[in-house]
Amino acid sequence: MDAIGERIAALNERVRNLQADGLYFMQIPSSALDGPWVTVDDRRMLMLASYSYLGLLGHPDIARAAHAALDRFGAGTHGVRLLAGTLTLHRELEETIARFKRAEDAVAYSSGYVTNLSVISTLVGRGDAVISDKLNHASILDGCLLSRANLIRFRHNDMADLERALIRAGSAAKLVIVDAVFSMDGDVINLPEVNRLCKYYRAWLMVDEAHSLGVLGRTGHGIEEHFDLPPDAIDIKMGTLSKTIPSVGGYIAGNRDLITYLKHVSRAYIFSAALPPASAAAAKAAFEVIEREPWRVEKLRQVSGLFLSGLRALGFDTLRSETAIVPVITGDDDRAFQMTRACHRQDVFALPVVSPGVPVGLARLRATVTAAHDPQHVERALEVFAKAGREVGVI
Ligand code: PMP
C-alpha 386 to ligand 1 mean position (Å): 30
Q: How far apart are CA 159 and CA 220, in angstroms?
A: 26
C-alpha 65 to ligand 1 mean position (Å): 24
For position 113, what pLDDT does the model report? 98
Q: Active site includes 183?
A: yes
**Total Cβ atoms within 10 A of residue 345:** 12
**Total Cβ atoms within 10 A of residue 78:** 12
Indicate if ligand 1 lies below 6 Å from the C-beta of 366: no
Indicate if ligand 1 lies below 6 Å from the C-beta of 94: no
Site to probe by mutation for ligand 1, drawn from 51, 132, 139 as the one with most ligand atoms within 8 Å of Cβ, is 139
C-alpha 99 to ligand 1 mean position (Å): 22
For position 331, what pLDDT does the model report? 95
C-alpha 137 to ligand 1 mean position (Å): 7
Catalytic residue among 59, 90, 174, 243: 243
Nearest CA to ligand 1 atom 14: 112
Catalytic residue among 52, 183, 242, 247: 183
C-alpha 236 to ligand 1 mean position (Å): 16
Indicate if ligand 1 lies below 6 Å from the C-beta of 135: no
Indicate the pTM of the whole model: 0.97
Cβ neighbours of residue 221 closer than 8 Å, sequence gap 6 or more: 100, 101, 102
- How high is the mean pLDDT of the chain? 97
Q: How far apart are CA 385 and CA 395, in angstroms?
A: 10
Least Cα distance to 268 among 93, 111, 144 occurs for 111
- pLDDT tens per residue, range 295-329: 999 999 999 999 999 999 999 999 999 999 999 99
Q: Active site includes 171?
A: no
Cα–Cα distances in angstroms (integers) from residue 275 to residues 73, 218, 272, in the given order: 12, 30, 9
Site to probe by mutation for ligand 1, drawn from 113, 119, 208, 252 as the one with most ligand atoms within 8 Å of Cβ, is 113
**In this model, does residue 120 exceed pLDDT 90?**
yes
Q: Active site includes 211?
A: yes
- pLDDT tens per residue, range 206-245: 999 999 999 999 999 999 999 999 999 999 999 999 999 9
**Total Cβ atoms within 10 A of residue 13:** 10
Cα–Cα distances in angstroms (integers) from residue 364 to residues 173, 318, 346, in the given order: 38, 9, 18
Closest ligand 1 atom to residue 116 Cα is 10
Nearest CA to ligand 1 atom 13: 112
Least Cα distance to 155 among 182, 184, 129, 133 occurs for 133
User: Binning pLDDT at 50, 70 and 90, where does residue 78 land?
Assistant: confident
Q: How far apart are CA 382 and CA 307, in angstroms?
A: 7
**In this model, does residue 341 exceed pLDDT 90?**
yes
Phi, psi of 365 (to 5 degrees): -95, 135
Indicate if ligand 1 lies below 6 Å from the C-beta of 120: no
**In this model, does residue 334 exceed pLDDT 90?**
yes
Indicate if ligand 1 lies below 6 Å from the C-beta of 183: yes
Least Cα distance to 85 among 64, 101, 107 occurs for 107
Catalytic residue among 59, 101, 211, 377: 211
User: Binning pLDDT at 50, 70 and 90, where does residue 7 land?
Assistant: very high
Indicate if ligand 1 lies below 6 Å from the C-beta of 208: yes
Q: How far apart are CA 324 and CA 277, in angstroms?
A: 30
Site to probe by mutation for ligand 1, drawn from 116, 117, 183 as the one with most ligand atoms within 8 Å of Cβ, is 183
C-alpha 246 to ligand 1 mean position (Å): 13
Indicate if ligand 1 lies below 6 Å from the C-beta of 247: no
C-alpha 178 to ligand 1 mean position (Å): 13
**In this model, does residue 348 exceed pLDDT 90?**
yes
Cβ neighbours of residue 145 closer than 8 Å, sequence gap 6 or more: 151
- pLDDT tens per residue, range 132-180: 999 999 999 999 999 999 999 999 999 999 999 999 999 999 999 999 9
One-letter amino acid for residue 166 of the chain? L
C-alpha 199 to ligand 1 mean position (Å): 27
User: Binning pLDDT at 50, 70 and 90, where does residue 116 land?
Assistant: very high
